[in-house]
Amino acid sequence: MLAPVKLPTRSVLPLVLLVACGDGGGGAMPDAAVEVPAVVPECREMPQPGAQPFMNASDLGPVVPGTLAGWEPDGRWFLTGLRVGSVSSFHFERQGSGVIVDHDTGSPGTLDDSVLFQRGTLDAQGQTYVTIKRVSNRAADGTLRADRVLCDGDNCRWCTARLERATHNGDEGESQGLTLLGELNDPAWPNVYTLNVRVAGTIAYLIRRDGLHIIETADPAHPVELGVYKRPMPSGEGNDVKIVEAGAKRYAILGDVPVDVVDVTNPAAPTLATVIGEETHTLAVEERGGKWYAYFGNYDGKCAVYDVTDPAHPVKLGSFATPGYMVHDLSLENGVAYLNAWDAGFYAVDFTTPSQPKQLGRWSSTPTGTSHSSWPVRAGGRHVALHGEEEYGAHLDIVDIDPASPQFMQSIASYKTRDVISIHNIMAVGTKAYFTYYQDGVRVLDVADPTAPKLVGYFNTWDPQGPNATAQFFEGAVGIDVDPARKLVFVADSPRGLIILKDETP
């Protein structure tokens, strides 16, 4: 799951500036003879210049005149070059001649043949920011220069990026090998983030910021909500859900602060069974040797393990500490936990003796410096893990996790779409890897040859020009579960809720 992204209250201000592919679109191209300086993506910080900074477009420096003549700004545009925060795009709406409105903030602006300029305010976490956007210097390939400044009263951060039309990845259509069967996003649900999903039988357990939604999917084209669990005093950190069977009863364990164990045996009336005192971002469960174990990815960089054979009476068995900011996610295989310790890398830890966990190996130098999610797989005669980052330029890496291999805890292959979009959650069924890719939707890789993963399917859940898209970097397909018996893929999509796909990949 995604790491918490919080607005700072002083000089470090949020911005996203990313790399992507595609043309700029929108109107006749400028004369190629007009020399437009190349955009150099960069961010710089400075003291705020006065009580009313950057009142005019010219305060951000000169522009090449006339290059916006005929440009059609309407729609969403990716910022490209580098990522600095949680914003990834601009969305403009023309409202009359020379009047432009920011779709995401409502701030008005002006447009002429040389420059688009907007100035407004943003309130977040008790802090008011002055926001300035300027677009200029359209090049012959349709890309433009974008400047964005945020000031907090004392300091300003000014970032420059390339701007290009937001599209799906490459020349992809909506889907390949995956077909939409049904979805549920009840209009009565609050407009909050959808995070993860787990399926047991025909019931889907969907965790959202407003609680756990229990959904019947026996008819996947028409999912129906059966019940909902909301903790009496929400923490706002509810992020993950896993299911444990205990005799005739079923329990949902919720990654939260603290952890709720919910009796969901009667889906119409879920009830709190107990609370586990862990501050947990994600969790994984495993049935082994006649017992159920729950492992927690904690915000303090630790992984705690509990015996949850009787989920209403969990017993803590041990804990493993990493030097990471947090254990962001984890996966399990026969008592070995594969821990994604965020900035500290990817760990293999033997928990077969839970009170004395033993580190088996570590990959500390992931390409983007983040370790987000993982899943162990046996394919092509090798023991490997699918490893995902969560950052600008994130990859899915295939990592050798065989301690006897000379490539132990090293990447042997990788896959990614484009830098502008981050990968997210991963799982595998046999030698097929299923993973969510935020704005690039759901992806399916054949990893039968782990050194040469092959894309065999995708479904683009996110509409780059749709009315529900926002400027957030962490948006789109987030959580995933697969029902191989029914050939269904369940997706927790941040704006769309629950999406159910038919899996027809080879």
The structure tokens listed for 271 are 């009830």
Locus of tokens 């040859």 = 449
Determine the structural domain holding residue 65 and report its residue range. Answer: 42-165
pLDDT at 20: 33
Q: Is residue 355 in a domain?
A: yes
Whether residue 149 sits in one domain with residue 195:
no
Q: What is the 3-state secondary structure (H, E, C) of 446-482?
A: ECCCCCCCEEEEEECCCCCCCCCCCCECCCCEEEEEE
Whether residue 409 sits in one domain with residue 361:
yes
Whether residue 155 sits in one domain with residue 208:
no
| Domain termination residue (choose one: 135, 165, 195) | 165
| Domain termination residue (choose one: 165, 191, 213) | 165
Given a contact cutoff of 8 angstroms between Cβ atoms, the answer to whether 425 and 437 are in contact is no
Whether residue 388 sits in one domain with residue 477:
yes
Whether residue 158 sits in one domain with residue 245:
no
Alpha carbon distance 376, 353 (integer Å): 20
pLDDT at 148: 92
Locus of tokens 């501050």 = 279
Whether residue 290 sits in one domain with residue 224:
yes
Q: Is residue 195 in a domain?
A: yes
Burial-class residue 381 by CB neighbours within 10 Å (0-12, 13-18, 19+). Answer: exposed
* Number of compact structural domains in the chain: 2
- Using DSSP's 3-state secondary structure scheme, residue 59 falls into helix
**Closest listed residue to residue 426, CA positions, set 449, 402, 447:** 447
Locus of tokens 């043309």 = 23
* Close Cβ partners of 300 (under 8 Å, ≥ 6 residues apart): 279, 326
The CATH number that applies at residue 92 is 2.40.128
Q: Is residue 246 in a domain?
A: yes
The structure tokens listed for 415 are 């896959």
Alpha carbon distance 282, 300 (integer Å): 12
pLDDT at 410: 98
pLDDT at 103: 82
Whether residue 116 sits in one domain with residue 205:
no
Q: Is residue 18 in a domain?
A: no
How far, rounded to the nearest angstrom, does the alpha carbon of residue 397 sit from its chain's CA centroid? 17
Q: Is residue 33 in a domain?
A: no
Q: Is residue 150 in a domain?
A: yes
pLDDT at 31: 66
Burial-class residue 247 by CB neighbours within 10 Å (0-12, 13-18, 19+). Answer: exposed
Whether residue 441 sits in one domain with residue 295:
yes
Dihedrals phi, psi of 57, to nearest 5 degrees:
-60, -35
**Closest listed residue to residue 138, CA positions, set 83, 69, 77:** 69
Whether residue 143 sits in one domain with residue 190:
no
The CATH number that applies at residue 316 is 2.130.10.10
Q: Which long-range CB contacts under 8 A does 259-264 form with residues at least 24 apart?
A: 259/283, 259/296, 260/229, 260/231, 261/308, 261/311, 261/312, 261/314, 262/212, 262/229, 263/312, 264/205, 264/212, 264/214, 264/227, 264/229
Whether residue 211 sits in one domain with residue 75:
no
Whether residue 220 sits in one domain with residue 116:
no
* Close Cβ partners of 203 (under 8 Å, ≥ 6 residues apart): 214, 215, 216, 217, 226, 267
Pairing of strands 477-483, 240-246: unpaired
pLDDT at 6: 32
The radius of gyration of the chain's CA atoms, rounded to the nearest angstrom, is: 24
pLDDT at 11: 30
Q: What is the mean pLDDT of each run of 10 residues along the chain (506 residues)?
A: 34 32 55 83 94 95 96 94 81 85 86 95 87 96 94 95 94 95 96 96 97 98 97 80 98 96 98 96 97 98 98 98 98 98 98 98 96 98 98 94 98 95 97 98 98 98 90 95 98 97 98
Q: Is residue 291 in a domain?
A: yes
pLDDT in tens, 431-451: 999 999 999 999 999 999 999
Given a contact cutoff of 8 angstroms between Cβ atoms, the answer to whether 434 and 480 are in contact is yes
| Domain termination residue (choose one: 127, 146, 165) | 165
**Closest listed residue to residue 212, CA positions, set 233, 188, 196:** 196
Q: Is residue 70 in a domain?
A: yes
pLDDT at 82: 80
**Closest listed residue to residue 398, CA positions, set 381, 415, 421, 417:** 415
Whether residue 447 sits in one domain with residue 413:
yes
